[in-house]
Structure 1
């Protein structure tokens, strides 16, 4: 059996959907499994033992109709038996249909259902206390007679990558005997970023509780201005605990550095998902516009903690809609005073 799993775009989505590859390989060890992803997301699925081949979709293919058509012809030429379209957008709709695979699986949408042989209505509530992101993905495998099973995404670093990161961190005067936290200071957009001064206040509270705490910031060079703003909002005593210039020059370097941290704290997004895949405890601040159950399940409570504004003030369905239109208004309500105690409880449970 030759299987193609399609998950384009965001790093967090690509990482999460990789659980399908593991589930399929465990049920059908002899299956040839290909994973179609955007080129820039490769680092999070590199060395994954459940993926036989990565099929890469580039920005050039996305922008050129001719290149995209050639890509579709290559997919058809591959002669897949099964195509699982997790992405479910126009490009992946066409990839699935053009594959002519006998079994084409995706989520149900009225205007695209005819392109697939089997479609699935998304769950609105979790059935197994996992996040909807995980449960809806695994439910697609019911068409392959694979029942639900608890699988979490994993990132596979090499020993050389881990050792190199350890050497880099050590030579940066960071003490592994003291608590080390990676901070996701920025979300994927302004609408998913906790106010910078509020984030600084949270870091100040952690240092007040534990003066040996050390912090690394997760940011890329073009985000340095915003990351530095968080640093500048911090108290001087906190600034001394932030190793601002220590960061991964590539995504794999960031992952290797994160693997040496005691926890990841900060904005919900790809960085949090990557930390989970490295088995690093996480404390996540969700955007007021997002529904927490989509990306956080009850079964994660042991090693992970997440907070959402709706836990602290009255919240209706219309508030999610309003928060998407005016995120800053709702973020301002989500003051550090709500988060400090849950954050301190999370750190206390790490047994550092």
Structure 2
């Protein structure tokens, strides 16, 4: 295996995508202990990786701000070139990341790439975790397109880049990792002290998701919250500012909505504060979302419901986690808005009832509720349990 002294890893996508890169950073450090390892990410996601102990530097690009226009983006590429990297690893196949890698000036460039930019790569690879849309006719160029979901977890796909493109043999997969800043831990401590009585066991809720087809019904979340509150558990709603409306709608359907044990932190926390707050929770009931992967990084037991999402590519990377899905023919579809009407609309989520979900919530709480904040991690135990609901459940 060739030695590299100055390494750049690029991932400019969303919260979950960035969390799924963290096992690569640990493996790189093991294989290149004397190398300088840098990570290039979207500035708004800095909290997730700025304290990562496996890297030497975190480069931040303001994707939607000052670095968004072409002249600014070219200047940013020149900044990258001045770093004189001898190895660049691109771990997301979009135009911006592909361009940064292609024009980085590095001696070796590997990973995923858009066509055109791939001409500058030493080795490009397909990402088997994401869906592919294959057309018909000559060269598969014509519709209708066949949706082929991913078949390998994103973490494993990334590690394959290291093995196949660089010859890395020693894989050190420590799972998803996020180190918390002391200030974020202190903020979460104050928040908890002000919000919940001592020794309250709190269940975190994240009901939003980037796609509507990833969202479980808000009325179902409301029923789960009521059942937990009736047994003395606290319920903490998380998520971003874009989720406030659906959280309010959910709470309006709760019988126990006026309980002092209902707290709404939606849109009020930074990503670092979110990680610190989730660490205090006994369990995380969540959609397939970025916060789900943050919860996994903080060793919080997860129960999640998958609708449009392909299970193999993005399941919660923890053997304690429970993923529930419905046996509908169109799962997974990868479509952002369900095209079906009537009872068939969002059937993949409607079939996952609150009763089924709470069965596994109570099971995991029975095992782990007293370990909140001190949950051990079992190295290598990352394949979650997948439950497929049956008719009548």
Tell whether 2:300 aligns with 1:283. no
1:198 has 2:220 as partner: yes
Query: Is residue 216–residue 247 contact of structure 1 (8 Å, CA) maintained in 2?
Result: no
Write the distance in 1 (CA, Å) between the matches of 2:239 and 2:29: 35
Q: What is the deviation of 1:108?
A: 6.5
| Kept in 1: contact 2:211–2:336 (CA 8 A) | no
* Structure 1 unaligned residues grouped into runs of 5+: none
Which of 299, 302, 312 matches 1:293? 312
Matches within 5 A, 1:307-318: 307-309=324-326, 313=327, 315-316=328-329, 318=330
What is the DSSP-based 3-state SS (H/G/I as helix, E as strand, rest coil) of the residue aligned with 1:266? strand
Q: 1:230-309 maps to which residues of 2 (within 5 A)? A: 230-236=250-256, 239-244=259-264, 248-286=268-306, 288-296=307-315, 300-301=318-319, 303-309=320-326
C-alpha deviation, 1:201, in angstroms: 1.5
8 Å Cα contact 2:12/2:18 also seen in 1: yes
Distance 1:189 1:325 in 2: 7
Query: TM-score, length-normalised on structure 1?
Result: 0.86
- Aligned counterparts of 2:334 and 2:42: Cα–Cα separation in 1: 32
d(CA) in 2 for partners of 1:249 and 1:340?
27
Compared CA separation, residues 52 and 188, structure 1 to 2 (3 A): same
Please report the RMSD computed on the Cα atoms of aligned residues, expressed in angstroms: 2.6
1:116 aligns with 2:121: yes
In 2, the alpha carbon distance for the partners of 1:269 and 1:221 equals 14
Q: 2:27 matched to 1:23? A: yes
SS of equivalent to 2:204: strand
Structure 1's 32 and 275: CA in aligned 2 closer, same or farther, altered over 3 A? Answer: same
For residues 91 and 61 of structure 1, what CA distance do their matches in structure 2 show?
14
Q: Following the alignment from structure 2 to structure 1, what is the Cα–Cα distance between the partners of residues 322 and 353?
A: 17
Q: How many residues align?
A: 337
Equivalent pair of 1:217/1:247 in contact (CA under 8 Å) = no
User: Structure 2 CA distance, aligned partners of 1:65 and 1:123?
Assistant: 31
Q: Counterpart of 1:264 in 2: which secondary structure?
A: strand
For 1:69 and 1:113, how far apart are their aligned partners in 2?
A: 18
Contact 2:88–2:101, Cα closer than 8 Å, also in 1: yes
Going from structure 1 to structure 2, the CA distance change for 1:71 and 1:343 (only over 3 Å counts) comes to: same
Cα distance in 2, alignment partners of residues 198 and 89 from structure 1: 35
Deviation at 1:251, TM superposition (A): 2.2
On the 8 A contact 1:169/1:246 being kept in 2, the answer is no
1:105 touches 1:119 (CA, 8 Å); kept in 2? yes
Question: Once structures 1 and 2 are overlaid, which stretch shifts more, 247-256 or 266-275?
Answer: 247-256
Matched residue, 1:7: 11
Identify which of 350, 358, 366 aligns with 1:340.
358
SS at match of 1:60: coil
Q: Going by fraction, where is helix more abundant, 1 or 2?
A: 1
Residue 346 of structure 2 corresponds to which residue in structure 1? 329
SS in 2 for 1:276: helix
C-alpha distance after superposition, 1:179-199 (max 9, x if no partner): 111111212232322111111
Relative to structure 1, is the Cα distance of residues 348 and 218 closer, same or farther in structure 2, using a 3 angstrom cutoff? same
Unmatched segments (≥5 aa) in structure 2: 131-150, 340-344, 371-393
Per-residue deviation at 1:121?
3.4
1:161 to 184, 206, 216: 184
Q: Does the CA-based 8 Å contact 1:248-1:254 persist in structure 2? A: no
| Displacement after TM superposition at 1:325 (Å) | 4.5
Distance 1:243 1:131, change over 3 A: farther
Q: Structure 1 residues 96-105 or 327-336, which shifts more?
A: 327-336
Shift of 1:49: 1.3
